[in-house]
Structure 1
Amino acid sequence: MSSEILIYIIFAGIVALLLALFQYVKKGKNRSKLDLFFSFLRFVTLFSVLLLIINPSFEQVELSIEKPSLVIAVDNSNSIKYLKQEHKTLAFVNTLQNNEALQEKFNINVYTFGNQLKQGDAIDFTDKQTNVFDAFKALSQIYKHGMAPTVLMTDGNQTFGPDYQFATSVYKQPIYPIILGDTLSYTDLKIQQLNVNRYAYLKNEFPIETILVYNGSDRVASTFVVYQGNKKVYSKRLNFSKQDNSKIIHFTLPANKVGVSAYRAEIKPIDSEKNTINNIQNFAVEVINEKTNVAIVSDFPHPDLGALKRSIENNEQRSVSVINTKNFVSKAKDFQLVILYQPNSKFKLVLEKLNTLKKNYFTIIGTKTDLNFINNSDLGYRVDITNQSEDYQGVLNTSYLPFYIEDIGLESFPPLLSNYGGVQFNLPVDVVLYKSVKNVTTNDPLLCTFETNDKREGVLLGENIWQWRAHSFLENQSFHQFDNFISKFVQYLASNKQRSRLNVDFQSFYNGNNRVIIKAEVFDKNYVFDTREILQITVKNKASETEKTFPLILKNNHYEVNLSGLEPANYEFSLSVKNENITKKGAFQILEYHVEQQFLNANALKLQQLAKNSQGTSYFMNNSVEIIDELLKDKRYLSVQKSSENTMPLIDWKYLLAIISLSLSIEWLLRKYNGLI
């Protein structure tokens, strides 16, 4: 408390005392002992009021000891169980958690990782995939500050994600790998990789590439076989040696039947081979009867053309041709959807041909678009002409009805360059994205669709969509999310099917190591998304005839169910809305593939390099207890004493109010009792 505040308190006491004496002791000889008591009560009241006004306070310093964190990250994938390391892993985690010396020095936190990082010690080794790099990326957000040495218990076999050997670029903590599994080299033949397109076309042949790897020193022979059901459709005899230890096989198979065709590729095991699971790999191809041909019509080059072509052709069911206005008219019948990129007066014959053929089309309007031509072409809308441009970002309309759109973070994407001004539609439109400028969302559409004269149309009021695709790749290390967004948009525009009140989003087949997710949307009779409905899906295994029913969970603007627990098989499903007589049926197949069981031993070299890069130490399970001594002796991991300075009131205002109330009450009661009021 400062000396200035102390002077104020003394001055307040003097003033309160003088006022109290002035009121009750000014009578001279006639004053009584009661007047002196009244003076005391009035002094207490006035002094308390003045203390409330002054509000004296003092600084309080609190000291605390902050211990470093000890992170225990445990590989929860089923490869640990396959390598018979689960019991040793659980025992060692328990040893670390219950060590009193470690508890005294560290705050111990246990995490598990497989598909994703999870906090807690619910370790069951059931995850179907392993992403070590993603676990470090998540931990880097939790332990940004302070020391947090990390004990990493894993076999080092990662099934997807960036190389974790370089995780020290994002995670700046010392890492101590505990290597689970042995490093002995076994004789082994395996299918290292099998590449095949997801789709094929009826009466064509589809290519397959297979990489086979041999680990051993003797010369061996084996046969590579592909089966469709019980029928052998391909076979090849192969020889391997220590020097000639890999083979790349290219071959084709015929697509004779529409639908999903499942296959099993197998390299016959050799004698004394320990792991035969990695000798077999299942795959499937969906055979379709026709391909959707899309035309992008433009009279000048632009990066958007290439970005759109690659996004659309990412779905193998679609083919894209970039064509100019002169050549389009004669080929218009060949396309199911036409994209008009920044049309001008040269597009007059193009529009006439599209209207004659009743073709669906998608118009992209940018700064090079002839807006007078747009406004005079009777397209159902008019664009304001201001001869100015503006950058607009997109804001997703979560109430968009025609089909399900997943939020891929479009609001954070770079802005598109567009003409400044609004657009007026003379027919109902469904807005996919609204325009946003300087974080202010407008009512003008940036991307929308509408239906007129038995055909569907879409309008994008902005150029440089190639930047969106590039941004999506930087955020996700993949074009998949953006390409999927464009794919669904193109699929809707290329079709003339009537709008349904129940939309179901699923794949015809799923790989066994991927999540099996089915999504659905349900609308009321006014085609407004209904969040009150109860949806359930009944899944039937075609082979065993068993049925299971699962509820769908509401997630933002769609319903979703995770069927990843189903065993590999062919399934039929019926998805129904409880309060409405609406049902959708379908079928899918889950392929058997145990990616976590493809490994024979631990990846010790990579884990040892990770430890070296992070200034940690690697251990094998048989000498893992030595890590406890190292952690306890390492002088980098010291507790830190922290001080916090808090300003505390000298007297709490609640107590002062209580004193004021009490003194005034006593004074009033005594004056009333003595007839002075």
Structure 2
Amino acid sequence: MTYLNNVRDFFVEVIDGRLNVLLLANSPHPDLAVWKSALLSQRNYEVDIRMASDMSLDQLKKYDLVILHQLPSVKNPIPTILNELDKKGTPRIFVAGYQTDLNALNQAQPFLNILAGGNRTPNDVTMVLNPSFNLFNLTDDIKTKLPAFSPLISPYGEYTAAPSAQVMSFQKIGSVDTQYPLIVMGEANDKRTCVIAGEGIWKWQLFDQLQNGSRDITYEVLNQICQYTSTKSDKRKFKVTSSKRLYTELEDISFQGELYNDSYELINTPEVSIRIKNKQGEEFDYTFNTSGQSYALEIGRFPEGNYSWTATTEVNGVKLTHDGKLVVQPIQLETLETTADHGLLRQLATMYGGSLVYADQISQLGDLILGDEHIKPILYSSTQTRPLIHLKWLCIILLAALSLEWFLRRYYGGY
């Protein structure tokens, strides 16, 4: 009987809460529904759709990412909203279209400049992926299929990307590949921004469903863009992470570390140490090893429990620290099943050339052993040597016999 299997500890790792995303539009548009469906497919986002004319500054406070669809426009220049987003440092995605005020868009972000031409007729453009783009990875399947998707409607004009911008794709107008950016991204003042110079993503979804039987490619691309834009860059010079936050007591614990100089270049000459502390206050100190341009440490297995850690280094007299926590959970497989698993025992016996015998079949055990050709009779022999001096009784007998012989010879005149 055991009480151990009546209690189980469950460990839940909460990585991040959901991000609040605002789809702020100049006017109703089918693109908005596609953006919302794509984001909600990941379950990492809470999405609201609002018209710019109905939006107040107080409502902006809760949002972690704002997608501005055809904004700013002549009808809704939204200068106060843009200023509020700047003050808060909220990342944003601009989706430019026919209603976008291009001059206002140029002033609202530093990564793409569109010089509007006299012709107001927009272009139908497809996508030419930039092989040098490296902010995130697209699968080979997406890279192959995405350029064939339905064209977007892009404002007419001359497009120039800033040197600090990363161009994800260029415009293909008709059959002509151009150097006009279609999707650009960048970061300035610790705030990430993306500009998509085309509306009509709703047609991507229809094409994706028709050609591929799902909307996965459309959703994956939009989610990748949102994930990059909404992620805050980490500018710390000293970073240490554990490979996991939740371990079992049978898993080895490891850490990785990065250290940057003032030019934000990786260095690994200073020594990096780490102190791990358990719930009872016991402390364990380790020193990192260098690994390439970074640091690495393997500390093996730890007993179950909650641990906190603090990594420390010093660069040019300045002490840098990074701390965190990890949990080691127990494994009690034996207590989860208290009934003998005869099926498993039979499999093990068969695997290793044995047999399963129940209590009422114990009489068969002898025959099974004798009839098993793999079991051979074994004769063991051993030899032991003992010094004669240790056999006292034998020494006494020999001494008595010699003494008797000497006496008899002396008595009968043998000497």
TM-score, normalization by structure 2: 0.55
2:306 aligns with one of 562, 565, 569: 569
Query: One-letter code of the match for 1:502?
Result: F
1:483 CA drift (Å)? 7.0
SS in 2 for 1:334: helix
SS in 2 for 1:500: coil
CA distance in 1, matches of 2:93, 2:126: 19
Q: Which runs of 5+ in 1 are unaligned?
A: 1-271, 401-406, 474-478, 608-617, 628-677
**Distance verdict in 2 for CA 1:446–1:485, change over 3 Å:** closer
**RMSD of equivalent CA atoms:** 5.3
The residue aligned with 1:546 is 284
The residue aligned with 1:303 is 34
**Distance verdict in 2 for CA 1:553–1:382, change over 3 Å:** same
Residues 1:470 and 2:216 aligned together = yes
**Distance verdict in 2 for CA 1:378–1:287, change over 3 Å:** closer
**Distance verdict in 2 for CA 1:341–1:354, change over 3 Å:** closer
The residue aligned with 2:48 is 321
Contact 2:247 2:327 in 1 (8 A): yes
The residue aligned with 1:449 is 186
SS in 2 for 1:302: helix
SS in 1 for 2:55: helix
Contact 1:397 1:434 in 2 (8 A): yes
2:113 aligns with one of 378, 382, 388: 382
CA distance in 2, matches of 1:485, 1:533: 36
Matches within 5 A, 1:277-676: 279-283=7-11, 293-298=20-25, 299-300=28-29, 301-311=32-42, 314=44, 319-329=46-56, 331-344=58-71, 345=73, 348-356=76-84, 358-359=87-88, 360-365=90-95, 370=100, 372=102, 375=105, 377-380=107-110, 381-383=112-114, 387-393=123-129, 409-410=138-139, 413-414=142-143, 415=146, 419=154, 423-425=159-161, 429=164, 431=166, 434-435=168-169, 446-452=183-189, 456-461=191-196, 470=216, 486-487=226-227, 489-492=229-232, 499-504=235-240, 509-512=245-248, 520-527=257-264, 529-530=265-266, 536-542=272-278, 543-551=281-289, 553-554=291-292, 565-567=301-303, 568-576=305-313, 581=318, 583-594=320-331, 600=337, 620-624=347-351
CA distance in 1, matches of 2:313, 2:302: 20
Contact 1:293 1:335 in 2 (8 A): yes
Residues 259-284 of structure 1, C-alpha deviations (whole Å, 9 max, x = no match) = xxxxxxxxxxxxx13x8257321435
The residue aligned with 1:182 is none
**Distance verdict in 2 for CA 1:546–1:443, change over 3 Å:** farther
Contact 2:254 2:299 in 1 (8 A): yes
1:584 CA drift (Å)? 3.1
**Distance verdict in 2 for CA 1:377–1:309, change over 3 Å:** farther
CA distance in 2, matches of 1:353, 1:551: 49
Query: One-letter code of the match for 2:126?
Result: E
Runs of 4+ in structure 1 off by over 6 angstroms are: 285-288, 440-443, 464-469, 482-485, 577-580, 601-605
Contact 1:296 1:339 in 2 (8 A): yes
1:586 CA drift (Å)? 1.2
Residues 102-154 of structure 1, C-alpha deviations (whole Å, 9 max, x = no match) = xxxxxxxxxxxxxxxxxxxxxxxxxxxxxxxxxxxxxxxxxxxxxxxxxxxxx
Contact 1:294 1:321 in 2 (8 A): yes
Contact 2:24 2:52 in 1 (8 A): yes
Query: One-letter code of the match for 1:391?
Result: M
TM-score, normalization by structure 1: 0.36
**Distance verdict in 2 for CA 1:285–1:523, change over 3 Å:** closer
SS in 2 for 1:546: strand
1:590 CA drift (Å)? 1.0
Contact 1:435 1:441 in 2 (8 A): no
Residues 228-264 of structure 1, C-alpha deviations (whole Å, 9 max, x = no match) = xxxxxxxxxxxxxxxxxxxxxxxxxxxxxxxxxxxxx
CA distance in 1, matches of 2:132, 2:67: 23
Which of these two proteins has the greater Rg computed from alpha carbons? 2
SS in 1 for 2:191: strand
**Distance verdict in 2 for CA 1:355–1:582, change over 3 Å:** same
Residues 597-641 of structure 1, C-alpha deviations (whole Å, 9 max, x = no match) = 675389998x9xxxxxxxxxx9712122569xxxxxxxxxxxxxx
1:503 CA drift (Å)? 4.4
SS in 1 for 2:54: helix
Q: Matched residues, percent identical?
A: 10
The residue aligned with 2:385 is none
The residue aligned with 1:276 is 4
Contact 1:394 1:410 in 2 (8 A): no
1:459 CA drift (Å)? 0.9
Contact 1:450 1:456 in 2 (8 A): yes
SS in 2 for 1:303: helix
Contact 2:238 2:259 in 1 (8 A): yes
Q: Which runs of 5+ in 2 are unaligned?
A: 117-121, 209-213, 355-415
1:389 CA drift (Å)? 0.9
Query: One-letter code of the match for 1:501?
Result: K
Residues 29-50 of structure 1, C-alpha deviations (whole Å, 9 max, x = no match) = xxxxxxxxxxxxxxxxxxxxxx
**Distance verdict in 2 for CA 1:376–1:492, change over 3 Å:** closer
1:571 CA drift (Å)? 1.6
Contact 1:395 1:411 in 2 (8 A): no
1:341 CA drift (Å)? 3.9
By relative contact order (CA 8 Å, sep 6+), the higher-ranking structure is 1
**Distance verdict in 2 for CA 1:329–1:424, change over 3 Å:** farther
**Distance verdict in 2 for CA 1:340–1:488, change over 3 Å:** closer
**Distance verdict in 2 for CA 1:512–1:619, change over 3 Å:** closer
SS in 2 for 1:283: coil
Residues 367-423 of structure 1, C-alpha deviations (whole Å, 9 max, x = no match) = 66737365565533313667131224465755x7xxxxxx65556535376659984
